[in-house]
Structure 1
Amino acid sequence: MFGWVRRGFRRAYERVLHREIGDGPTHVAIIQDGNRRYARKRGDDAPDGHRAGAQTTENVLEWCEELGIEELTLYAFSTENFDRPPEEREHLFDLFENKLYESVRSEQIHDREVAVRVIGEVDRLPERVRDAVEYAESETADYDKFTLNIALAYGGRAELLSAARDVCHDVEAGKLSADDVDVAAVDAHLSRQPVRDVDLIIRTGGDERISNFLPWHANGNEAAVYFCAPYWPEFSKTDFLRGIRTYESREKSWQRTRTERAVALVRAVAEVEFEDARAVASRLREQLSSSGADEVSAELAKRTDETAD
């Protein structure tokens, strides 16, 4: 009886969270932490925890589809994970290989037109995993409805260093002018697959750090970060929706700040030259939400009335 009550409460709470969410993020990235601790808690071995975590990954893909999220990046294996015991690494490599083949053979991947991509130092992975990566990417290369990035042998600092070296080589070879080194130039040398800016990072397992994960794509976009206690195999839809709510709160705060700055700018310019204020307000309205644009218009109207008086 109590199990039925808990399930009913959880479903009701999920509906409440759904109502609190607006358009939501476009790109969510997840640090899947806690598989081994989950296994230890249950008296199992690490491979059992990794297998349980694989089911959570499938659940998250469904939740992303429900919410209209367009891109998901999963931190599956970091460069630091190569220091794990050989038997655990081999199990993980077996799991990655099997899951890559299974995912592409799944009707859901093709029905949903999911492009599977792997980011990281793939050349450091065993040949059997590299073959699975190539197969998964080639079989889904033409899809564009949803992008699933799997970070394997990934390290954010190493990725940035590699990109910096490549840009330097291009400048030295005369392929690129030093004056032309910009965000787009660095983007072009990052990773082996394109990744859009990250809106929200979720980390499970209780640790409050982002562990060298997507520094260029997350920090530059001021991504929201949601840390939660459940181990990855225990991560629920409620936890996921709470993470989305964190993004919504950050987005509202960010829009509020932009609007306040825009209004202050229009006010300052209007005090010097009113026609310039009109031009500035016009440009700012294009960059703000509808409510923010209304506030800028209201400030301009106020200044117009004061000038008329």
Structure 2
Amino acid sequence: MWQRLRGLAGRAYRRHLRREIDDVPDHVAVIQDGNRRYAREQGDDAPEGHRAGADTTEQVLDWCADLGVSELTLYAFSTENFERPDEELKPLFDLLERKLREFADADRVHDEGVRVRAIGDVARLPPRVRDAVEYAERRTAGNDRFTLNVALAYGGRTELLDAARAIARDVDAGEMAPGDVDVETVESRLYDRPIRDVDLIVRTGGDERTSNFLPWHANGNEAAVYFCAPYWPEFSEVDFLRAIRTYESREESWQRARAERA
């Protein structure tokens, strides 16, 4: 009885949140934090938390499609993650390999026009994961209605540093003048970058920081940020809709400020 009432109340609240949303971000980026803590609280090992988080990832893709979000970037594996113990890394790499291949072959991915792209220092990943990345990118290259960026071996500072070094080499070689360096110059030397600037960053797990994630595309665009307490495997559609509402509130505030300045 109580479960049925809670279910009805939850559906009614989701409908209420949807009715409140008029403006949807083009590009959402997610820091999927809390998989390991979730597993510990369930009495499981870290790989079980990562597997539960992978199920949430698939749900978020559906929510994005329902709302009309055009691009989603997932912080799947950072450069700092390489410091984790081997007994955790191996099953995590296995999961990444399997999910990339499964996703690339899924009928709904191609029916919905989803293109998969990896961003980051992919060359640092094990060969089997690199092969899965190449397979997913190749299988979905012709899709153009939704972009899924998977950040693998990604670090924002490293990305900017590599771009700066590449520009410095070109200037030193006389291939460009320092005065020619502009926004387009930097962007052309970033990793295989997202198509759009980031409009909204979502971080689960309770920490209120963006952890070196997409500094050029998110911080540079002054993206809205939504922090929430649930671990990634517990992240719900209500949490996602609240995040979208945070973005919409920020946009409304900006529009008022611009009107007042004008």
Task: State which drifts further: 202-211 or 173-182.
Answer: 173-182
Alignment partners' CA distance in 1, 2:177 and 2:68: 40
Q: Given that residues 105 and 139 in structure 2 are in contact (C-alpha distance below 8 angstroms), is that contact kept between their aligned partners in structure 1? A: no
Alignment partners' CA distance in 2, 1:4 and 1:207: 33
Aligned residue pairs: how many? 262
Alignment partners' CA distance in 2, 1:148 and 1:15: 26
Give deviations 1:70-95, integer Å, cap 9, x for gaps: 00000011000001011101111000
Q: Given that residues 202 and 225 in structure 2 are in contact (C-alpha distance below 8 angstroms), is that contact kept between their aligned partners in structure 1? A: yes
Give deviations 1:210-239, integer Å, cap 9, x for gaps: 000000000111100000000000000000
1:217 matched residue in structure 2: 217
Alignment partners' CA distance in 2, 1:44 and 1:82: 21
Shift of 1:7: 1.0
1:51 matched residue in structure 2: 51
2:152 matched residue in structure 1: 152
Alignment partners' CA distance in 2, 1:195 and 1:211: 21
Give deviations 1:264-285, integer Å, cap 9, x for gaps: xxxxxxxxxxxxxxxxxxxxxx
2:201 matched residue in structure 1: 201
Alignment partners' CA distance in 2, 1:37 and 1:236: 17
Alignment partners' CA distance in 1, 2:195 and 2:188: 10
Alignment partners' CA distance in 2, 1:73 and 1:40: 26
Alignment partners' CA distance in 1, 2:125 and 2:140: 21
Scaled by the length of structure 2, what TM-score is found? 0.98
Aligned positions of 1:72-87 closer than 5 A: 72-87=72-87
1:230 matched residue in structure 2: 230
Aligned positions of 1:97-246 closer than 5 A: 97-246=97-246
Alignment partners' CA distance in 1, 2:160 and 2:218: 13
Scaled by the length of structure 1, what TM-score is found? 0.83
Give deviations 1:101-125, integer Å, cap 9, x for gaps: 0001100110011110000110100
Larger RCO (alpha carbons 8 Å, 6+ apart)? 2
Give deviations 1:190-222, integer Å, cap 9, x for gaps: 112444200000000000000000000001111
Alignment partners' CA distance in 2, 1:32 and 1:52: 11
Shift of 1:167: 1.2
Q: Which amino acid is the alignment partner of residue 227 of structure 1?
A: F
Aligned positions of 1:234-273 closer than 5 A: 234-262=234-262
Shift of 1:52: 0.5
Q: Which amino acid is the alignment partner of residue 82 of structure 2?
A: F
Larger Rg: 1
Alignment partners' CA distance in 1, 2:257 and 2:137: 41
Shift of 1:155: 0.3
Q: Secondary structure at the match of 1:74?
A: strand
Alignment partners' CA distance in 2, 1:237 and 1:161: 36
Q: Which runs of 5+ in 1 are unaligned?
A: 263-309
Shift of 1:144: 1.2
Q: Secondary structure at the match of 2:117?
A: strand
Q: Which runs of 5+ in 2 are unaligned?
A: none
Q: Secondary structure at the match of 2:58?
A: helix
Alignment partners' CA distance in 1, 2:77 and 2:88: 12
Q: Which amino acid is the alignment partner of residue 197 of structure 1?
A: D
1:3 matched residue in structure 2: 3
Q: Secondary structure at the match of 1:115?
A: strand
1:280 matched residue in structure 2: none
Alignment partners' CA distance in 2, 1:155 and 1:195: 18
Q: Which amino acid is the alignment partner of residue 92 of structure 1?
A: L
What's the C-alpha RMSD, in Å, of the aligned pairs? Answer: 0.9
Q: Secondary structure at the match of 2:118?
A: strand
The sequence identity of aligned pairs, in percent, is 69
Alignment partners' CA distance in 1, 2:20 and 2:145: 25
